[in-house]
Chain A
Amino acid sequence: MITIQLPTALRTFTDGQADLQFEALTVEAALCQLTEQFADLQRHLFDDNGKLRSFVNVYLNDEDVRSFDGVNTSLKDGDVLMLIPAIAGGRETPRT
């Protein structure tokens, strides 16, 4: 089981839920399950070609998944994914 933490900006599309649990082996699979369950999120997270929008950063346990294998990064039980708008740039982890 992994957890996806959503920014407040997107919680109107998940009935106010901030943390959502899924069974997924990769970041991509987790995001797919998220948008399958909450279809309105699709257009906010992905562009018309189905690509994750460039300003949406996905952090895996506080590290940008781009520093691993991007959306193909493997997940293990207990992992936490955070969806954070890159307020224009930088790749610092959200903790800094």
Chain B
Amino acid sequence: MNSSTILDAVGNTPLIPIRYHGNGAKIFAKAEFMNPSGSVKDRAAKAMLLRGIQNGKLTNNNAILDATSGNTGIALAMFGAVLGYRVVLCLPSNANRERKRVLRAYGAEIIPTSPLESSDGALLKAKQIAAENPDKYFYTDQYNNEENWKSHYNGTALEIWEQTEHKITHFVAGMGTSGTFIGTARRLKELNPSIKTVPMQPASPLHGLEGMRHQASVIPSGFYDTSLLDGQLDIQTEDARRTTLEFAKENGLFVGISSGANILAAMKLAETLPKDDLVVTILCDSGFRYLSDEMWD
């Protein structure tokens, strides 16, 4: 009898060659939306929970708590359901309805936070609840948990390194907690110091790139490391949406808007590079998580 769980399906996602209108470097995208809960966040969520179980901080007597704009919450809710833990999530109330419905389907409890305060409001609320009730919750604290970036340092980066046969020259990705970017960039640069790692960033502090954060205007995560940033690519939400729509038609990949932003940033960079270079980016989640948006009409 096979005793594996859905957690065993996290990681080892395909690396897909991307077609684009340009003569520059090749682009490949890591299909993180193929993780079991549907996003790149499965990696950090799994690592944070397994570490919590291992060190005895997550027990049958407390509940999993974190702040999320959605995808980490969905991963925690799914794994909490599998492992038998209660999950409580602080979520800005303007997170979209797909996310809220999926969270409820997995049985997670949502604590809505002010839409005016965005991800920082959720973060501060979760921190406050954890501080006031240390025995009631295992606070995964994705913005400061070292397991977050390490899951990419030990997973995503090594997979990319092998899947590109060590030929990757550039890595481009947006940042929310910055775990994906920091963990992947740090390991890639250790494997080959000439690899450039370039963050994609929303062009404005007010934006519609779900899960992404305009780093200059938010509370930085504990592991944010500016020494790993080789420049920066600013992307407007409207341009990301346009790219997301074109990407589905031209590449057969129905992805979310933050993935569209990553693809656009990768294309902008690739166009400036020679053909032999190889750019890798991240497809964070699927377009199915945004179906209530009118952009598809």
Contacts and interface: CB of A to CB of B under 8 A. Distances in A.
A16 interface: no
A84 B293 contact: no
Contacts of B97: 89-90, 92
Contacts of B118: 7-9, 85, 87
A90 B98 contact: yes
Contact of A87 (B117, B204, B210, B294): B210
B223 interface: no
Contacts of B214: 9
Interface stretch (A29-37, A49-57, A70-78): A49-57
Contacts of A18: 116
A25 B294 CA distance: 28
Given A87-B69, A90-B292, A44 B257 contact: no
A8 B120 contact: yes
A18 B117 CA distance: 10
B207 interface: yes
A60 interface: no
Interface residues of A, number: 31
Contacts of B290: 88-89
B96 interface: yes
Interface stretch (B30-38, B87-95, B130-138, B271-279): B87-95
The dominant DSSP class at the A interface is loop
Nearest to B216: A12
A12 B120 CA distance: 15
B238 A9 contact: no
Contacts of B98: 89-90
B116 A88 contact: no
Given A53-B237, A84-B116, A89 B207 contact: no
A14 interface: no
Contacts of A2: none
A83 B117 CA distance: 11
Contacts of A65: none
Contact of B116 (A8, A89, A91): A8
Contacts of A55: 207-208, 237-238
Contacts of B121: 8
Interface centre among A83, A88, A95 (most CB of B within 10 A): A88
Interface in A1-53: 5-10, 12, 18, 43-45, 47, 53
19 contacts: A12-B205, A12-B217, A18-B116, A44-B204, A44-B205, A45-B206, A54-B237, A85-B206, A85-B208, A87-B69, A87-B94, A87-B208, A89-B291, A89-B294, A89-B295, A90-B96, A90-B293, A94-B115, A96-B112
Given A53-B238, A87-B210, 15 more contacts: A7-B115, A8-B118, A18-B116, A44-B205, A54-B208, A54-B237, A54-B295, A57-B94, A85-B208, A87-B69, A87-B92, A87-B96, A88-B293, A91-B292, A92-B93
A-B complex: 9 closest residue pairs judged by Cβ atoms = A55-B208, A89-B293, A9-B205, A90-B96, A94-B115, A88-B210, A90-B97, A89-B96, A90-B292
Interface of A: 5-10, 12, 18, 43-45, 47, 53-57, 82-92, 94-96
